[in-house]
Amino acid sequence: MFEKVLIANRGEIAIRVARALREMGIGSVAVYSEIDRDAPHVREADEAYLIGPATPAESYLDGAKIIEAAKKAEAEAIHPGYGFLAENAPFAKACEKASITFIGPPPKAIDAMGSKTKARAIMQKAGVPIVPGATAPVENAEAAKKQAKEIGYPIACKAAGGGGGKGFRVAMEPGDLEEAFEGAAGEGERFFSDPTVYLERYLEDPRHVEVQVLADAKGNITHLGERDCSIQRRHQKLIEEAPGPKVDPEMRERIGKIATEAAAAVGYRSAGTVEGLQVGDDYFFLEMNTRIQVEHCVTEMVTGFDIVREQIRIAAGEPLSFTQEDVELRGHAIECRINAEAAHKNFAPAPGTITGYREPAGPGVRVDSGVEAGSEVTPMYDPMVAKLIVWDNDRERATARMLRALDEYEIGGLTTLIPFHKAILATEQWRDGETCRDLTEDKKWLKTTGPAAGSTPAPAEVEDAAAEQSESSYQVEVGGKLFDVTVIGDAVAGGAAAGAKRPPKRERKSGGGAAGASEDLLAPLQGSVLKVAVEKGAEVAEGDLVCVIEAMKMENEITAHRAGKISELPAAEGGSVSLGDLLAKIE
Ligand code: MV4
């Protein structure tokens, strides 16, 4: 077994890996960028190395610097986590060349699954059912029209270098095809420097069901059952659960076999996920993720196996610690992604500083987080700051437990998805195990998922024009009974109940969505302007799309913070903006 492993990541996943290493008696090495000096993941490891400035390209994405740190620390292996370098075949190769073990699959398997057309061709040959459609790219819009006729409408145009829904456009009928084709090609070019597009039949309201596989170097391939990740928005998963609410034992066995066959077809080794679409009793291969995934925890909760530990054992040449017969799914697990985002403002990024922090606990609750009080969530990195995972005997009880845990979770000073999760888990749609697309796409419904009155206000609300005024919650004892009181404006000096907490005043900052009273719509994050959806002089309603800013490979829709007329429009397509830049004035 390894004596020391370097963790090439930050945030919750770096801590998750450090915990596995500690339990295994392996030394851990963290790396960090300049703004992460005080981050929790740095303290969680036995030693830590600075690898560069905050910009990912100059630190967490810089393979050479990470290998250099591993050499300095004399680490024998590197765990990449997810994102950053996790599915970068050249990095995996560079590790090999430096005689460092990459804790992940062979570079060849990463490559094979990196091209979606290649992956589809391999799977078809191996007898794995794929979504109906082509296994080779289509040259241009004209050729696409011909091919689409054969496949049948509706048609999904997908970027071959894509995955996770990037470069994904739908044509409901022939008249939409050219635009969908060009859209997918353009996004492929921007995100993966590859405009190659292929066509699939578009399936209506499928479920996203994926199977966890583990393959060791001795030829053992097992699966740990499925996860359902159907609750997504713009291809970002928001809630995941295991087992799948619409998967029965027969189907579980069938898709488990599909997944292990898919892994065998590419000579897979390590932990991986076979993603597919479930439509009724049908299941189609979509793509394979060659990394540990964010949502691996729900599988750990229902199987009892530690997937990261197995991954490390496999990389060290050891066999899987269990066989397929040992795998049993018990109870039900749900995971909510706690992102610094404003669901009620179209999931706008909501970076900021965490002023107060308390995690839920108690029976069946697991929190994998990477933040604490005082942490700053920057627009530079992933907005996911924590994952809340619960387990209980069945789905209904797990839901009640999740609602309880969400209630306990206190994250001061930051707008998060906590209210969104509470709202969605309380719906009939969730109870019936639906995909909830009617809710996640419904702007009106989303508006109702803002932070509740009396909770810590979001920065945008505090920044309101008049407002050095703050809103604070107190408990007041009257006649031996405690009452919750919300005070708007400055509390009377000395008037608060003894021991009452008061959130500290935050610095005034631009960003985080513009203030309602101001005309200025400011950039809530740094990035490049992909699209400007309005013209100067146009009238907009509150919530209308103004522009799209791309940052961290995410497209962020910036919507009008108020109704009015666009009197100034400095935002320009193709331009770049910094945090707090003026995008538009709405008079
Ligand atoms: C699809 C699809 C319908 N037809 N492909 C791909 C990546 C994943 N993030 C969502 N993807 C989809 N691929 C075809 N041919 C619909 C989706 C999809 C989806 C699937 C399951 C659950 C939620 C979804 C939300 C948006 C898109």
Q: Alpha carbon of 31 to those of 8, 21, 40, 82, 136: distances in Å?
A: 6, 15, 12, 15, 40
Mutate-to-test residue for ligand 1 from 151, 153, 155, 203, highest number of ligand atoms within 8 A of CB: 203
SS3 state of residue 317: coil
323 lies in a domain?
Answer: yes
Provide the pairing of β-strand 4-7 with 77-79.
Answer: parallel
- Model confidence pLDDT, tens digit, residues 176-228: 999 999 999 999 998 888 999 999 999 999 999 999 999 999 999 999 999 99
H/E stretch holding 472 reads: strand 471-478
3-state SS, one letter per residue, for 169-203: EEECCHHHHHHHHHHHHHHHHHHHCCCCEEEEECC
**Cα–ligand 1 centroid distance for 277 (angstroms):** 7
Evaluate: CB of 200 within 6 angstroms of ligand 1: yes
Residue 502 has pLDDT above 70, yes or no: no
**Residue 237 alpha carbon, nearest atom of ligand 1:** 9
- Model confidence pLDDT, tens digit, residues 544-587: 899 898 887 778 888 898 999 999 999 999 899 988 889 999 99
CA angle 78, 268, 246 (to 5 degrees): 105
The enclosing domain of 36 has a CATH number of 3.40.50.20
Q: Average of pLDDT values for 314-318?
A: 98
Q: Let me know: does 95 contact 102? Beta carbons within 8 Å.
A: yes
**Cα–ligand 1 centroid distance for 230 (angstroms):** 9
Q: Average of pLDDT values for 151-180?
A: 93
**Cα–ligand 1 centroid distance for 88 (angstroms):** 24
pLDDT of residue 488: 59
Is there a single domain that holds both residue 123 and residue 246?
yes
- Model confidence pLDDT, tens digit, residues 7-46: 999 999 999 999 999 999 999 999 999 999 999 999 999 9
**Cα–ligand 1 centroid distance for 435 (angstroms):** 11
**Cα–ligand 1 centroid distance for 202 (angstroms):** 8
**Cα–ligand 1 centroid distance for 16 (angstroms):** 28
Evaluate: CB of 278 within 6 angstroms of ligand 1: no
Q: Average of pLDDT values for 487-505?
A: 43
pLDDT of residue 504: 42
What are 307's two structure tokens?
């997937």
Q: Which of 465, 492, 510 lies at the terminal end of a domain, its last residue? A: 465
Mutate-to-test residue for ligand 1 from 210, 235, 241, highest number of ligand atoms within 8 A of CB: 235
pLDDT of residue 484: 75
482 lies in a domain?
Answer: no
Q: Alpha carbon of 431 to those of 14, 277, 400: distances in Å?
A: 33, 21, 11
Mean predicted lDDT score pLDDT of the chain: 90
Q: Which of 330, 350, 379 lies at the terminal end of a domain, its last residue? A: 330
DSSP 56: G
504 lies in a domain?
Answer: no
Is there a single domain that holds both residue 147 and residue 82?
no
Mutate-to-test residue for ligand 1 from 158, 231, 286, highest number of ligand atoms within 8 A of CB: 286
Evaluate: CB of 202 within 6 angstroms of ligand 1: yes
- Model confidence pLDDT, tens digit, residues 428-485: 999 999 999 999 999 999 999 988 744 554 444 434 333 334 456 667 777 777 777 7
**Cα–ligand 1 centroid distance for 206 (angstroms):** 7
478 lies in a domain?
Answer: no
**Cα–ligand 1 centroid distance for 443 (angstroms):** 20
364 lies in a domain?
Answer: yes
Is there a single domain that holds both residue 244 and residue 357?
no
pLDDT of residue 463: 41
pLDDT of residue 286: 95
DSSP 348: E
Lowest mean pLDDT among 81-85, 285-289, 363-367, 456-460: 456-460
H/E stretch holding 477 reads: strand 471-478
Q: Residue whose CA is closest, atom 27 of ligand 1?
A: 235
Amino acid at residue number 203: L
Q: Which of 201, 225, 256 lies at the terminal end of a domain, its last residue? A: 201
Is there a single domain that holds both residue 72 and residue 149?
no
pLDDT of residue 152: 97
Q: Residue whose CA is closest, atom 15 of ligand 1?
A: 202
pLDDT of residue 472: 60
Give 67's pLDDT tier (boundaries 50, 70, 90): very high
Give 501's pLDDT tier (boundaries 50, 70, 90): very low
The enclosing domain of 190 has a CATH number of 3.30.1490.20
Is there a single domain that holds both residue 350 and residue 257?
no
471 lies in a domain?
Answer: no
**Cα–ligand 1 centroid distance for 399 (angstroms):** 24
Q: Residue whose CA is closest, atom 11 of ligand 1?
A: 165
Is there a single domain that holds both residue 126 and residue 245?
yes
**Cα–ligand 1 centroid distance for 177 (angstroms):** 18
Is there a single domain that holds both residue 125 and residue 245?
yes
The enclosing domain of 545 has a CATH number of 2.40.50.100
Comparing 503 with 367, the larger pLDDT belongs to: 367
Evaluate: CB of 131 within 6 angstroms of ligand 1: yes
Q: Average of pLDDT values for 333-351?
A: 96
The enclosing domain of 389 has a CATH number of 3.30.470.20
Residue environment code for 103-124, b if the CB has 16+ CB neighbours within 10 A, otherwise e: bbbbbebbbbbbbbbbbbbbbe
Task: Give percent above pLDDT 70 in the chain.
Answer: 91
Residue 491 has pLDDT above 50, yes or no: no
513 lies in a domain?
Answer: no
Evaluate: CB of 246 within 6 angstroms of ligand 1: no
Parent domain of 255? 118-131+204-330
Give 163's pLDDT tier (boundaries 50, 70, 90): confident
Evaluate: CB of 206 within 6 angstroms of ligand 1: yes
**Cα–ligand 1 centroid distance for 165 (angstroms):** 7
DSSP 136: S
**Residue 235 alpha carbon, nearest atom of ligand 1:** 9
Is there a single domain that holds both residue 436 and residue 356?
yes
Residue 400 has pLDDT above 50, yes or no: yes
Is there a single domain that holds both residue 127 and residue 167?
no
Nearby residues of 467 by Cβ (< 8 Å), 6 or more positions away: none
**Cα–ligand 1 centroid distance for 564 (angstroms):** 35
Evaluate: CB of 285 within 6 angstroms of ligand 1: no
Backbone angles phi, psi at 214, to 5 degrees: -135, 130
pLDDT of residue 542: 87
Residue 493 has pLDDT above 60, yes or no: no
Residue 505 has pLDDT above 70, yes or no: no
User: Listing from the earlier edge strand, what are the strands of the sheet with 282-289?
Assistant: 282-289, 270-279, 207-215, 221-233, 236-242, 332-339, 384-392, 365-369
d(CA 432, CA 492): 49
**Cα–ligand 1 centroid distance for 196 (angstroms):** 19
pLDDT of residue 471: 52
Evaluate: CB of 94 within 6 angstroms of ligand 1: no
Mutate-to-test residue for ligand 1 from 168, 199, 294, 553, highest number of ligand atoms within 8 A of CB: 168
Is there a single domain that holds both residue 397 and residue 427?
yes
* Number of domains, the chain: 5
536 lies in a domain?
Answer: yes
H/E stretch holding 547 reads: strand 545-551
First to last CA, the chain: 65
Comparing 299 with 490, the larger pLDDT belongs to: 299
* Beta-ladder partners of 582: 522
Task: Give percent above pLDDT 90 in the chain.
Answer: 80
d(CA 7, CA 48): 10
Q: Residue whose CA is closest, atom 5 of ligand 1?
A: 202
**Residue 200 alpha carbon, nearest atom of ligand 1:** 15
Is there a single domain that holds both residue 425 and residue 532?
no
pLDDT of residue 525: 80
- Model confidence pLDDT, tens digit, residues 106-152: 999 999 999 999 999 999 999 999 999 999 999 999 999 999 999 99
Evaluate: CB of 230 within 6 angstroms of ligand 1: yes
Q: State the number of CA atoms in the 13 A half-sphere of 384 facing the CB.
A: 23
Q: Average of pLDDT values for 314-333?
A: 98
d(CA 540, CA 532): 13
Q: Average of pLDDT values for 150-161?
A: 95
Q: Average of pLDDT values for 297-320?
A: 98
Is there a single domain that holds both residue 181 and residue 216?
no
Q: Whose CA is closest to 276, among 255, 252, 299?
A: 255
